[in-house]
Structure 1
Amino acid sequence: MTTTIDSAEVDSNVGEQLIEVLRSECLSRGCGGIRGLGLMFRHLDIDFSKRIVLRELEDGLKLYGFRMSENYLKALFRALDKDNSGGIDFCEFMQELRPPMTSCRINVINEAFDSLDVNKDGIINMDDIKVVYAANARRHPKYLSGEWTEEDTLRHFLDSIDTPGCPDGKVTREEFLNYYAGVSATVDDDCYFDLVMRSCYNLPPRKTTNS
């Protein structure tokens, strides 16, 4: 599907509005939409500099199904190039596109990540989730049916959060946040999102303060 962004969609504060349009289009593709755009960024970063220039952004957007005028492309690039360095940093790129989340949502996502990161090295890998997620894996329908082994089930869980298309078996905090930002965008209520995350990762109840 190709999305053409024209002047009817944005009229002022063009750069920020283009980011919002791009974010909305990504989210319309499901929870993995933002991560998919991040994968596109990685593919364009052929020198592994973790930054892309204007024409690389244009090529990537076309590959992902977005077309826009030259003026709008430059406005989007300027909005993403926060330090005016002539290149877009990957982390800033993902932070701009990631749907905004309240502090309580970010906190519970970080709490879930910390619960999985057993050796506290800032990476979730298979060894980590074997320790804390094996019981959940053994409740998966495909494990119960015998179609998947416990290892298969844990690998599926890890790959679903890892960078789509090229999982490396290691999930960073940023990748974890990017994944759950997409999930968060589908849940209206903060309390319900918090409840779901705590139930999924067997986290203790949220602490409340008395007024």
Structure 2
Amino acid sequence: MEAIEKLRAKCLERGASGIRGLARVFRRLDANRSGTLDADELHRGLEEMGLALEPQEIEQICQRWDRHGDGTLDLEEFLRALRPPMSQARKDIIAAAFAKLDRSGDGVVTVGDLRGIYSGRDHPKVTAAEFLDYYSGVSASVDTDEEFVAMMTSAWQL
């Protein structure tokens, strides 16, 4: 089993808080707010969460997610990689919810699309990719496609 898959499985054993809890620990360890972690920070974060991996597995993860060859891994990209893949049913229901928000149909949710529904003052635009990324995180904590589709259908009145 690849190290990232082993770590994902360990996180998912903890339920909905597994990956989110790890994300909180990693963000706290990123003291300089660079958005990256080095091997030592990764190791400390995993130990703190009780998700110990073998040193060679930590090295494998660092090498795989070190995009710039500087000995660090991109935190957000790494956390996205930890999320389990989503089924097409989940992606489809997320797309339907996004389409409901995107009243103009241009692929971007703007303040105009949300006027009267939401104050977009601090977040003036939401793209379909950002919407999918958000719900990918939510998806990680829902066991079955049926439950996920029901949750999305209810939340977005689809």
Q: Output the TM-score relative to the length of structure 1.
A: 0.55
1:175: Cα distance to partner?
A: 4.0
Matched, 1:181 2:136: no
Match of 1:66 in 2: 51
Q: Equivalent residues in 2 for 1:11-90 (5 A)?
A: 17-90=2-75
| Contact 2:90-2:148 at 8 Å conserved across structures | yes
Pick closer, same or farther for the CA change 1:107–1:65 going to 2, 3 Å. same
Q: Specify the code of the residue in structure 1 equivalent to 2:24.
A: L
Pick closer, same or farther for the CA change 1:117–1:35 going to 2, 3 Å. farther
Which entry has the higher C-alpha Rg, 1 or 2? 1
Structure 1: runs of 5+ lacking an equivalent: 1-9, 11-16, 123-127, 133-169, 204-211
Match of 1:194 in 2: 149
| Contact 2:86-2:136 at 8 Å conserved across structures | no
Q: Output the TM-score relative to the length of structure 2.
A: 0.71
Match of 2:80 in 1: 95
Distance in 2 between the 1:69 and 1:18 partners? 9
**Residue identity (%):** 33
Deviations, residues 157-208 of structure 1 (Å, cap 9, x unaligned): xxxxxxxxxxxxx9x744443122321xx10xx46633442123212xxxxx
1:33: Cα distance to partner?
A: 1.4
Distance in 1 between the 2:67 and 2:87 partners? 22
Over aligned residues, Cα RMSD in angstroms? 3.2
| Contact 1:45-1:52 at 8 Å conserved across structures | yes
Structure 2: runs of 5+ lacking an equivalent: 104-108, 124-129
| Contact 1:35-1:179 at 8 Å conserved across structures | no
| Contact 2:86-2:139 at 8 Å conserved across structures | no
Distance in 2 between the 1:180 and 1:53 partners? 28
Pick closer, same or farther for the CA change 1:117–1:29 going to 2, 3 Å. farther
Deviations, residues 41-78 of structure 1 (Å, cap 9, x unaligned): 21111111111111110111111112233222211221
